[in-house]
Each structure stands twice: as C-alpha cells, then as structure tokens.
C-alpha cells in the first residue's frame, strides 16, 4: 500500500500537531488540517506560520486545506492524525457527526481523558465505535522543537496490521525523521503517557535541588516501573529498552524542551499546581495522566512508588520535599 492513495487529515494546532504538519508536508501533496479557530486559520494562510506554536516553522498554504470544521476534515480524509491535548479531546469531538468507522485514526496524544480515566484509544472505542482495526498510535522520542529545527528524530508507529503501520510510517519518513513500526499499540500508547508522569517526578527532583546522580537512579527505577505497569495493562513480550519506551522516557525526563519536566521543576521550586499551569503556555499531559494511572494501583495491584509520589504532591498537596525524601528510600 502507498500513502499517495489516501487522503490525509490532521486534527490539532498545538506544538506537536504543528510539528506533525511539518513532517507530513515533506511527503503529502495535500493535507486536510483542522485548527481550533479562525485566528489560527487566517494566520496560517496569510503569514504561513502558526501564530502560537513553533512560530518559526513556515508552511505553504497551498499544500493545506485548513478548516475550523472538524466534520469537513474527517469526511475528506482516509487517514487522520489526531493530535490535541487529552483534556480537549471530548470538546474537540463534540461537533462531530461524521463517523470514523471507515477511517484510520492515528493518535499522538500522550495523556488520559480526564473524568473518564481512559486512554484516547479506549475513549474512541467506547464513545465513537472505533475498533483496533481503526486505531494506531505514533510515539517518540521526539520533541516538537527539534522537529522544527529538522534535527534527526525517531518515531514509532503502532498498529496491529503491519501493512497499515508501514503506510502510516511512509507518511512520516523524511530526511530528518526515522520511523519504525510495532504491533504493541497499547504498550506504545501507555508508555507515552507514563513517561510524562516520570518527567514530572524528574522535574520536581531538579526543582528541589537533587543532582544528576539521583536523576539517573530515578530514571532507572522509572523504566522498571513502566515495565510493571505495561505488563499488567497488556502483557506482551516487549523489549522495554526500545526507543518507544526507554528512549521516550529519557528524552522527556532529561530535556529542557520537556513541558512535563518544566512543570515538575516549577512544583519543586514551590509553585502551586494552579500557578504552574497558569504560567505555562502548554499543557503538561502528565498532570492529568497522574490521577488516571494512579487509579490502576488497586485495580491491577501493581507497585508504582514514583507515580504514587507524584500523585501525592499534585493531588493530595503533600510537601514535595517530604514526599521525595520518602521516595528516595524506595529506589535502588
């Protein structure tokens, strides 16, 4: 199968959606692009730049059918990249009256749907009648800012059908993007969610003054904690050291581009959750994911000391220094 046979759509206009638009523009002649409002649409057409995110990236407006009508984009697309923050997924889909059932929907949303405590794929299955055949996942390690700079980056495409995964991968491969494929859809989606929580922990530790030595131990324990969660959510014979898991964790936990690490750093320095959220211009998916994933603790009886520590700090308003001090005794 060749990607030219399919009409490509993109839903979202945040930093990662803008990065995906840049990548797709290297391979796809015409892209249907849903953006949230007329301000973004008009600026993309008039100035050739997203006015809010990755503002240095230049687009050719003739290459995009830009619309604020999600039904138009979904109706006119066969393969749809769905890239909006998890907290906006429900609202984004409210006006939708066109079915997804004959589409391939690729989610690159690294969070949990609030109130439902579901991954995006699980939410789409339950509320929009999609099946595993319809759903794929795209994950990193890959920061939008480095895509904007065309620095070599790696993506993983997960779908149960190898041919479909390769079709999606071919939409994304270019001179600065390498892509591999996997059947581990659930593990790839959960891995992308979990690494954001661990990045918040790393940020909190940095804000509190913990150094590189502790950071290394924290990340070492985090990848093992991730493996324990994935093993109970969807037990497969996966290699946790692959880039979709360990690689994505490391870049999110160490990079100053990481909004979740930034958010955690602010918490460690004494910001309240509310003040940190207000000061950031981007959504820290790990904040919302923490509560949803924490609910797994009793359901699956899995040991998650790092996630539990982040939950206590963010949701129970426990003192970050005291919680992290206790956590250090549980790591090895």
Asked if 67 contacts 73 with a C-beta cutoff of 8 angstroms, the reply is yes
Query: Active-site residue among 36, 103, 195, 312?
Result: 195
Residue in the block written with tokens 């996997």: 182
Which residues lie closer than 8 Å to 298 by C-beta, 6 or more apart? none
- Assess whether 297 carries a catalytic annotation: no
- Which residue numbers are catalytic? 195
């Amino acid at each position: 199968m060749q990607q030219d046979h399919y009409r490509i759509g993109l839903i979202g206009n945040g930093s990662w959606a803008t990065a995906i638009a840049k990548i797709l523009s290297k391979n796809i002649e015409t892209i249907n692009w849903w953006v949230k409002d007329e301000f973004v649409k008009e600026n993309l057409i008039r100035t050739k730049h997203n006015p809010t995110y990755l503002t240095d990236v230049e687009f050719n407006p003739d290459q995009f059918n830009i619309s604020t009508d999600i039904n138009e984009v979904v109706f006119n697309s066969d393969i749809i990249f769905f890239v909006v923050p998890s907290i906006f997924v429900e609202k984004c889909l409210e006006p939708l009256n066109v079915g997804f059932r004959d589409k391939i929907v690729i989610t690159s949303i690294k969070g949990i749907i609030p109130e439902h405590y579901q991954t995006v794929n699980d939410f789409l299955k339950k509320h929009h009648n999609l099946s595993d055949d319809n759903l794929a996942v795209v994950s990193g390690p890959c920061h939008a800012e480095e895509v904007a700079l065309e620095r070599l980056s790696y993506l993983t495409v997960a779908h149960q059908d190898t041919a479909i995964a390769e079709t999606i991968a071919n939409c994304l491969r270019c001179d600065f993007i390498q892509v591999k494929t996997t059947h581990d859809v659930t593990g790839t989606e959960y891995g992308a969610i979990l690494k954001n929580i661990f990045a918040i922990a790393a940020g909190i530790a940095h804000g509190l003054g913990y150094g590189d030595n502790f950071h290394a131990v924290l990340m070492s324990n985090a990848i093992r904690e991730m493996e324990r969660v994935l093993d109970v959510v969807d037990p497969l014979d996966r290699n946790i050291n692959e880039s979709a898991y360990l690689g994505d964790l490391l870049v999110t936990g160490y990079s100053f581009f990481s909004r979740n690490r930034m958010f955690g750093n602010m918490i460690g320095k004494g910001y309240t959750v509310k003040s940190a959220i207000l000061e950031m211009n981007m959504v820290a998916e790990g904040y919302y994911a923490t509560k949803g994933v924490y609910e797994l603790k009793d359901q699956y009886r899995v040991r998650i000391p790092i996630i539990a520590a982040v939950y206590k700090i963010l949701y129970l308003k426990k003192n970050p220094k005291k919680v992290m001090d206790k956590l250090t005794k549980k790591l090895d």
